[in-house]
């Protein structure tokens, strides 16, 4: 198995476990998404692994992108035009890695024990199933940042919870509790927080009891075209994000979020 710097990989019988190790908030960037995709592709090549679990250390499952990155702050200190999204790296490259996750062949269960925000929500939704708890929070907070949804969420979220519920999450940027996520179908089970990962592992083990060829064939049928739809969606999302990241509202949205205050948007 490849050496990873920001994730841990373990094998438990026929189940592969990927643990994000950037506590406490597990912010993502190209490197992290690339490592997760590499691990899932390695699982695809291992005939003994039939399902996987994506979990995380720390307080959050994945709190999205770190717009409060020290490197970005240093850049802005020398250049008032600094882009709050620079800490992500080139977003088109990020989405190339994200689509790799959707192209992986074996079922994945996300153990969402804490916040799944922005792109972190996109990562959780990329899995086939989600186990969560009352303490977790799910948020597509892009519009509160003056941004456009990404990570393929404009395709995956409506398909999972229905168009109108997805619109509600996108248009308000509100945080949805674990219980509400379960009621909407965003999560498959809502259990006590200390049971999230064990429950996800049990579900993955149950899946792994099935015949591997039949499992792969059935999943391929049910997810046919999903990766291509996500790729098309990310192309559009990228165009909108590239346009909006140059606006004053985006910089104000990020700054207001950092300062924990209402944003003063100007529509420009």
Q: Give the domain CATH number at 102.
A: 3.90.226.10
165-219 per-position pLDDT tens digit: 999 999 999 999 999 999 999 999 999 999 999 999 999 999 999 999 999 999 9
Average of per-residue pLDDT across 124-136: 98
In a domain, 204, yes or no: no
pLDDT at 230: 96
pLDDT at 91: 60
How crowded is residue 212: how many other Cβ atoms within 10 Å of its Cβ? 15
Which domain covers residue 232, as residue numbers?
A: 7-193+212-258
pLDDT at 3: 78
In a domain, 18, yes or no: yes
What secondary structure does DSSP assign to 173-213, as a single string? Answer: -PPEEHHHHHHHTS-SEE--GGGHHHHHHHHHHHHHTS-HH
95-112 per-position pLDDT tens digit: 999 999 999 999 999 999
Residues of the chain with pLDDT > 90, as a percent, come to 85
In a domain, 268, yes or no: no
In a domain, 1, yes or no: no
pLDDT at 89: 47
Q: Which helix (H) or strand (E) holds 11?
A: strand 7-12
Average of per-residue pLDDT across 225-238: 96
pLDDT at 123: 97
Between 227 and 257, name the one with better pLDDT.
227
Q: Is 53 helix (H, G, I), strand (E, B) or coil?
A: strand
Average of per-residue pLDDT across 110-136: 97
pLDDT at 66: 78
Question: With contact defined as beta carbons under 8 Å apart, do 125 and 132 qualify?
Answer: no
In a domain, 92, yes or no: yes
69-90 per-position pLDDT tens digit: 544 333 333 333 345 455 444 5
In a domain, 264, yes or no: no
pLDDT at 14: 98
For the chain, how many structural domains are there in total? Answer: 1
**Mean pLDDT over each residue of the chain, to the nearest integer:** 91
């Amino acid at each position: 198995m490849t050496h990873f710097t920001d994730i841990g990989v373990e094998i438990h019988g026929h189940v592969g476990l990927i643990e994000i190790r950037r506590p406490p908030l597990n912010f993502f960037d190209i490197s992290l998404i690339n490592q997760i995709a590499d691990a899932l592709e390695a699982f695809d090549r291992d005939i003994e692994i039939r399902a996987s679990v994506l979990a995380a250390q720390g307080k959050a499952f994945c709190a999205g992108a770190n717009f409060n990155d020290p490197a970005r702050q240093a850049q802005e200190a020398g250049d008032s035009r600094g882009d709050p999204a620079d800490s992500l790296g080139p977003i088109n490259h990020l989405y190339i890695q994200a689509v790799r996750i959707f192209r992986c062949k074996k079922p994945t269960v996300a153990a969402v024990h804490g916040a799944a925000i922005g792109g972190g929500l996109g990562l959780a939704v990329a899995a086939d199933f989600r186990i969560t708890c009352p303490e977790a929070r799910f948020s597509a907070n892009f519009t509160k940042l003056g941004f456009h949804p990404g990570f393929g969420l404009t395709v995956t979220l409506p398909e999972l919870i229905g168009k109108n519920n997805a619109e509600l999450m996108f248009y308000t940027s509100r945080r949805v509790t674990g219980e509400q996520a379960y009621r909407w179908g965003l999560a498959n089970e809502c259990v006590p927080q200390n049971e999230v990962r064990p429950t996800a592992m049990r579900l993955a083990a149950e899946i792994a009891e099935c015949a591997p060829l039949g499992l792969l064939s059935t999943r391929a049928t049910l997810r046919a075209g999903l990766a291509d739809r996500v790729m098309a969606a990310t192309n559009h999302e990228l165009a909108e994000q590239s346009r909006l990241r140059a606006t004053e509202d985006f910089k104000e949205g990020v700054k207001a979020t950092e300062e924990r205050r209402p944003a003063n948007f100007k529509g420009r």
